[in-house]
Amino acid sequence: MGLKEAFQKAAIAAFNAAGNVKKSAVYTSNPNPTYTPSTGYVTEIPTNYSVTAIREDFKFNDIDGDKVKPEDTKWLILYSELEIALKENDYVTIDSIRWNVVSWQLDPADAVWTIHVRQ
């Protein structure tokens, strides 16, 4: 087992040990719209992924009122649960609240997504 795989297993173990800090969530990926010339319609069929997420708040110094607003949060999601290309028009639903994806980052070991979201 290489170092990358060791980090991935450690991330899974950490999520398993997180107990009631974890939340069930639905990540919705909105595909690029497809235009059908014969019908004149634009089709978008979102894809939902059931994932487990852990909330992380931004540090006070990170909040600038522009790129990061006071109500923004971060959600950590295992890469093994969400092996897709994330996009800005995607969103996460947690406790019936829709959080729009602002930005995202995947750690170097491909273990955990850090997803910046805003209501």
pTM of the full structure: 0.86
Place of tokens 């919705």: 28
- pLDDT at residue 16 in the model: 93
CATH superfamily, domain at 3-118: Bacteriophage SPP1 head-tail adaptor protein (2.40.10.270)
Q: What is the DSSP string of 59-113?
A: PGGG--SSSS-TT-EEEEEEGGG--S---TT-EEEETTEEEEEEEEEE-TTS-EE
pLDDT, one tens digit per residue, over 17-62 is: 999 999 999 999 987 777 888 888 887 789 999 999 999 999 999 9
Which residues have CB under 8 Å from 16's CB, separation 6+?
none
Domain boundaries, the chain: 3-118
